[in-house]
Amino acid sequence: MISASFRRRLLPYVLISPLVVFIGALSFVPTAVTTVGAFFRVMPLNPPTAFIGLGNFRALFTNPVILTSWVNTAGYVAIGVVLSVVFGTAIAVALRDRFRFRGVVLALVVLPWALPAVVEAVIWSWIYDPTFGVLNSALHSLHVIGGYHLWLGLNRWLTVLFIEIVQVWQITPLSALIILAALQSIQPDLYEAARVDGAGAFQSFRRISLPLIRPAIAVATVQALVLSLNIFDQVYILNGIAPLGSSVMLQTYVTTFEDLNFGGGYALSLLMTVATAVLSMAALALIYRRVEAA
Amino acid sequence: MATTRTGGRTARAVTRAAAGPAGRALSRRPARILGRAAAIAVILLWSVFPIYWALNTSLSTLSGADSTPAHYYPSPLVSTSYRAVLGIGGAGYGISSELGRSLLNSTIESGAAMVLTIVIAVFAAYAFARLRFKFKRTIFVSVLATLLLPAYATLIPIYRILSTLGLVNTYVGVILVYVSGFLPLAIWILYNYFTSIPRELEEAAFVDGASPLVALLRVVIPVAMPGIAAAAIITFLLGWAQFLFPLILTTDLATQPVTVIVAALNEQRIVPFTLLMACGVIAAAIPGILALVLNRYIIQGISAGSIK
């Protein structure tokens, strides 16, 4: 017989055990395998597997295509973080106060976040189309451009910018919602006091809203950082495996599953995992510290 | 979260009351309203135009879509692209069978992953929110830390583990991987919801002699339904949108989700954009409609996860 008190003490462990098994087997074990595998030569079609120290990393840093993908990814991250946080803040400020149909507007704003990135990228590839794309057509009608342009695949930074815009379109709703929630939790008497003291809209945004939504901006920044460091779907659809606009995630895929160099894939993955952790911590520390200073 | 909502409501009430009698505020009003209307118009254009453009192209004839300058609405408006990709008529490039099967696969994979994630997450989140046990904090923090773990860290080993177990190209394999990926976010949303429920509700049940498990099932879960719905919908949408993991874990139509099929059709470079856009609209229809109808829960789930 199991006593009632024993069962009661056992309950929490029973409740969390499926979670622990899942996260252990499919998050922690794989992360450990990646970490160790980065220092081994692993080629399933060309054995043996052997310890090679930093050999995989040395090979990565002498491969021009992979070096290009690192620099491109830095571009994806810079553009993605800045645009999604700035647009997200602007949308949150515009939608803070109640107005008619606000619910409908919010629902439509969230829509790009809810749709599959692959489908979105295919839609944007049609918008960017060099012969029949609406971007060329609209800019030409407005006399912004003289002739139709090839937006993707010619100029490296233009390619990175136009691919990242597709990701920004998808992830901006996330920043907007996070910052909107923070804006709405600010006590209204603060704005009232500022208004009595003669502060304008911009002043009260800078002096009241901005310091108080900084934690939310930090969360939005880290979200955008992780998502843009991982950019894959949009690059796969809009750039293919061409080196010009390639991202590190795409090179990890190519190295591992097309070249079947698993060791190289592990090494790239490990570097990116460390980069993600370091950059996230740095972003949080930087933005949180500024709150205290403000 | 509940406090946030009330806070927002009071904020608006006070702003309105203050703006009413003050002459200065009154004179500024038309300009501000115009400015805000313009801002909202720009926001809507940015959010909706690409989706409108996909609909426009999918409902145009091929010559209507391939025109310079572009036609901003379908003239004539035709359903030929949809009939072609659904296999009802016209040159469909054999898309209909692929599209139908992959939609079924997407539904099964994201649906099953959602159910399994929510069941596991509800029990675990309740334990973290209410029960005392050894290593609670360590386990909780470790689970949440995986929220920041990029796909890189697990992608290749997961492929190797699944191929060792013979689970590549099976529903079970895909679903297990999705569940492990979605659990941390579901736990975070549900944990925040559970801790916002007053303990008095369960204590009444304990007085009546109920065990914690009974209290969870009879008292907490019914009250937490909005939070559970939020976690469920977000999980389903994440599952439907997956591409990289199914790209390597599924190898044929037996398990390939619709994202993989749309990418493959796009890669062929012979399928015209009218048909591609029809496929895209169909592939995005289920998440799109869910997001529009249930947006309240999505907004609540995302905001709840970020505030604390």
pLDDT in tens, A137-185: 999 999 998 888 899 988 999 999 999 999 999 999 999 999 999 998 8
Contact A91 B65 (CB under 8 A): no
How far apart are the CA of A193 and the nearest CA of chain B, in angstroms?
A: 11
- Nearest CB neighbour to A16, from listed B3, B57, B139: B139
B12: confidence class by pLDDT, cuts 50, 70, 90: very low
Extended beta strands in chain A, E state: 40-41, 50-51
Helix axes B23-58, A117-127, angle to 10 degrees: 90
Query: Is the Cβ pair B283, A116 closer than 8 Å?
Result: yes
Q: What is the 3-state secondary structure (H, E, C) of B203-242?
A: HHHHHCCCCHHHHHHHHHHHHCHHHHHHHHHHHHHHHHHC
* Burial B15-54, CB ≥16 within 10 A → b, else e: beeeeeeeeeeeeeeeeeeeeeeeebeebeebbeebbebb
Is the Cβ–Cβ distance between A108 and B269 less than 8 Å?
no
B158 touches chain A (CB under 8 A): yes
Name every chain B residue with its beta carbon within 8 A of the beta carbon of A138: 70
pLDDT value, residue A199: 82
Token representation of residue A129: 């189309």
Query: Does the pLDDT of residue A67 top 60, yes or no?
Result: yes
Beta bridge partners of A188: none
Confidence check: pLDDT of A127 > 80: yes
Quickly state the pLDDT bin for A289 (edges 50, 70, 90): low
Specify the CATH architecture of the domain B96-307.
Orthogonal Bundle (1.10)
The reply to whether residue B47 touches residue A108, judged by beta carbons under 8 angstroms, is: yes
Distance CA A34, CA A39 (A): 9
CATH for A63-293? 1.10.3720.10
Cβ contacts below 8 Å, chain A against chain B, sum to 305
Averaged pLDDT, B158-180:
96
Q: Pick A123's closest partner by Cβ from B43, B53, B158.
A: B53
Which of A94, A114, A148 lies nearest to residue B237, judging by beta carbons? A114
| CA torsion through residues B125, B131, B135, B141, sign | positive
Q: To the nearest whole number, what is the mean pLDDT of chain A?
A: 90
- Please name the residue of chain B whose CA is at the shortest distance from the CA of residue A137: B69
Q: Hey, is the C-beta of A25 within 8 angstroms of any chain B C-beta? A: yes
Tell me the per-residue pLDDT of B255-268, one tens digit each, with 9 for 90 and over.
Answer: 999 999 999 999 98
DSSP code of B49?
A: H
Residue with the larger pLDDT of the pair B16 and A31: A31
Which residues are bridge partners to A40 per DSSP? A51
| Interface contact flag, B46 A169, Cβ < 8 Å | yes
Strands (E), A71-127: none
Does the beta-carbon distance from A8 to B126 stay under 8 Å?
no
For chain B, say whether A48 makes contact (Cβ under 8 Å): no
For residue B275, the distance in angstroms to the closest alpha carbon of chain A comes to 12
What is the largest distance, in Å, between two alpha-carbon atoms of chain A? 86
- Residues on chain A touching B179 (C-beta within 8 angstroms): 22
pLDDT band at B3 (very low <50, low <70, confident <90, very high): very low
Is the CB of residue B137 less than 8 Å away from at least one CB of chain A?
Answer: no
**Residue from the list A103, A117, A188 with its beta carbon closest to the beta carbon of B10:** A188
Q: In which residue are the tokens 């926001």 written? A: B43
Region A130-139: mean pLDDT is 92
Domain ranges for chain A, please list them: 63-293
Nearest CA in chain A to B126: A15
In chain B, where the domains are located: 23-78, 96-307
- Taking Cα atoms as reference points, which of A87, A95, A80, A114 lies closest to residue A180? A95
Q: Lowest mean pLDDT of A8-22, B84-98, B111-125, name the range.
A: B84-98
Interface contact flag, B127 A16, Cβ < 8 Å: yes
**Nearest residue on chain A to B55, alpha-carbon basis:** A123
What was the pLDDT predicted at A290?
55
The answer to whether B153 contacts A186, with C-beta atoms less than 8 Å apart, is: no
Residue B306's pLDDT is: 56
Taking only the tens place, the pLDDT of each residue in B48-65 is 999 999 999 999 988 888
Average pLDDT along chain B:
87
Cβ-Cβ contacts under 8 Å for B236 (sequence gap 6 or more): B110, B111, B113, B114, B287, B290
A256:B156 CB<8 A? yes
Please identify which residue in the block is written with the tokens 């009595």. A196
Selected for mutation to probe chain B from A2, A91, A115, A253 (highest B CB count within 10 Å) is A115
Q: What are phi and psi of A240, to 5 degrees?
A: 65, -145
Q: For A227-280, how does the pLDDT look when each residue is reduced to its tens digit (9 = 90+)?
A: 999 999 999 999 998 889 999 999 999 999 999 999 999 999 999 999 999 998
Kindly report the pTM of this predicted structure: 0.91
Report the residue of chain B nearest A123, measured CA to CA: B54
- Does residue B225 register a pLDDT over 70? yes
DSSP letter, residue A254: I
Average pLDDT over residues A68-95: 96
Cα of B54 vs its chain's centroid, Å: 20
A43 and B CB contact within 8 Å: no
Half-sphere exposure (Cβ direction) of A224: Cα atoms closer than 13 Å: 35
pLDDT of residue A235: 97
Does the pLDDT at position A108 exceed 90? yes
**B246: closest CA of chain A, how far (Å):** 12
Interatomic CA distance for residues B149 and A21, integer angstroms: 17
Q: What is the DSSP letter of B70?
A: P
Cβ <8 Å between A185 and B307: yes
Q: Which of A6, A13, A14, A16 to mutate to test the interface with B (most CBs of B within 10 A)?
A: A16
Torsion of Cα atoms, B167 then B184 then A90 then A165, to 10°: -20
Phi, psi dihedrals of residue A262, rounded to the nearest 5°: -65, -35
Q: How does pLDDT run across B133-146, given as a tens digit for each residue? A: 999 999 999 999 88
Tell me which of A112-121, A285-294, B151-160 is least confident: A285-294
> What is the reported pLDDT for B28?
61
Of B143, B179, B299, the CB nearest to A106: B299
- Look at residue B307 and tell me whether its pLDDT is greater than 50: no
Q: What's the whole-number mean pLDDT along residues A8-35?
A: 93
* A41 DSSP β-pair partners: A50
For chain B, how big is the Rg over CA atoms in Å?
A: 25
Token pair of B226 as six digits: 């909005």
Nearest CA-CA partner of B58 in A170, A108, A123, A115: A123
ipTM: 0.92
**pLDDT score of A8:** 80
Cβ atoms A186, A196 nearer than 8 A: no
Asked if the model's pLDDT at residue A54 lies above 80, the reply is: yes
Q: How far is A231 from chain B (nearest CA, A)?
A: 10
Q: Do the chains contact at B292 and A280, CB–CB below 8 Å?
A: no
Q: What is the mean pLDDT of residues B188-201?
A: 91
Using pLDDT thresholds of 50, 70 and 90, give the confidence band for residue A2: low
